[in-house]
Amino acid sequence: MLSFQSLRAKLLWRLTIASAILIALFSTILYQLIKESLYQEIQAQLIKQAAFITSTATNHHIGDKIDSFYLKRTLDISVEVVQKPRFINEATFTEYRKGKRYYIALFYPYNFKEQSYLRVTKDITTIHQILSKLYKSIIVTNAFAFGFIILYAFFISSYLTTYVKRFTTKLSALNENMLTPIKVRDLPEEFQPLAKSINHLINRIQTFVKYQKELFIGIAHELKTPLAVMKLKNEVTLIKKRSPEEYIETIKLNIKTINEMNKMIENILKIGRQEGDQFEPPVRLDLIEYLKEKSKNYQLLAKSEGKEIITQFSPEHYISVIQPTLLDHILQNFVQNAIKFTEPQGKIILRSQPTSNGIKIEVLDEGPGINEEIDHFAPFKRHGNKGGVGLGLFLAKAAADAMGATISLKNRSDKRGAVATLIIPNELVCPLC
């Protein structure tokens, strides 16, 4: 028994109702067309016969019956001259029943001076019986057709929901260790967008699991090392009596290590907040206007460190549906890194330009460049002797993946520093979030 909440049950019900209504309408229209055609043929014959009688029999007066063997036996009609009926000015048909017989009567102008009409009557009982049998046959046929419709709708609903069942079975069997994508090409065209969305979701889950594993391993390693160093320093200090200055120095080193660990924990908490930001409702905004507004704050930050940010935005406007918080995570990290590695009096370029399938945002610094053989987006990867815990680019990569965008980091073509690139496609993942 199918539940009313079942998609198949709803589809079966709607297909049955729609098909039944369609057949009922078609049958009604067909019956009316047949009936109308028969009646039009009879009426045309009666008018033709009345016109012939009017032209040949001209000496009859009101109350006379025009009886002849030809009229009764051959044409099966009766003709009578009557006074002009009220409210009739031209040939008019009426249908009536007398006992078990059905008749159609034509009132046709006969003598203009006497204001008389011919009343031509024809027995249409046989026609009525034929139409009645036809109507009953249509009813019986519709009853059989309705049963066939139910079977057909049951088959169609079963066929159409087969792919939904496959999706359900596929998804119910998924776990973090067996995330295999759905083969899109094997599906009907109508189901391919759904399969692509599911595959994209699977890819996001795989990326998330991968990052989480890397993050946990990195956290354990990064926290274990300073803790071991602190423990060793304290043990060495306690081996023998030290001067107050030595104890103070050890405590200062421990405090410095604790501060570094606190900073690391703060960045780890940012990851947790960013995962929540992935569920932020996307909004429609002008990316160029957004970049212009953000660049004002970035320019103030750079100026405070004796550096300059130059903006080059193209096109003039670019509308996108996006999650602003995730975008801000990425841009902020790019700009902060550029400011960090650019020497004083140096220039940083923040620019955008359209691509064939979206828009590209770049941040160019005047730093020492990068080692392109290293995965800078892995957690706890540090570059150079600058401070930090190595989670900034990791956060930026996670935010880009959540949006459906891509980021990259490479050296500038003029060898004067590095360039961080964010490519935002026209079709983002955001609307599906």
Q: What is the pLDDT of residues 114-172, one digit of tens each?
A: 888 888 998 899 889 999 999 899 888 888 888 888 888 788 777 777 777 776 776 67
Contact partners, residue 196, CB within 8 Å, separation at least 6: 184
CA dist 172 and 164 (Å) reads 12
pLDDT digits (tens, 9 = 90+) for 62-85: 888 877 655 666 677 888 888 888
- The more confidently predicted of residues 350 and 242 is 350
pLDDT at residue 74, rounded to an integer: 66
- Other Cβ atoms less than 10 A from the Cβ of 409: the count is 21
Ramachandran sector of residue 48 (left: φ over 0; alpha: ψ -120 to 50; beta: rest): alpha
Give the CATH architecture of domain 280-433: 2-Layer Sandwich (3.30)
Say what angle helices 324-341 and 287-304 make with each other, to 10 degrees.
30
pLDDT digits (tens, 9 = 90+) for 375-408: 777 766 655 555 555 667 877 887 888 788 899 9
Percentage of the residues of the chain whose pLDDT score is greater than 90:
17
Positions of CATH 3.30.565.10 in the chain = 280-433
Quick one: fold of 187-277? Helix Hairpins (1.10.287)
CA dist 203 and 314 (Å) reads 31
Mean pLDDT of the chain: 80
CA dist 93 and 87 (Å) reads 13
Positions of CATH 1.10.287 in the chain = 187-277
pLDDT at 350 over 90: yes
CA dist 423 and 353 (Å) reads 10
**pLDDT (mean) for 306-335:** 89
pLDDT at residue 431, rounded to an integer: 44
**pLDDT (mean) for 306-334:** 89
- The more confidently predicted of residues 107 and 146 is 107
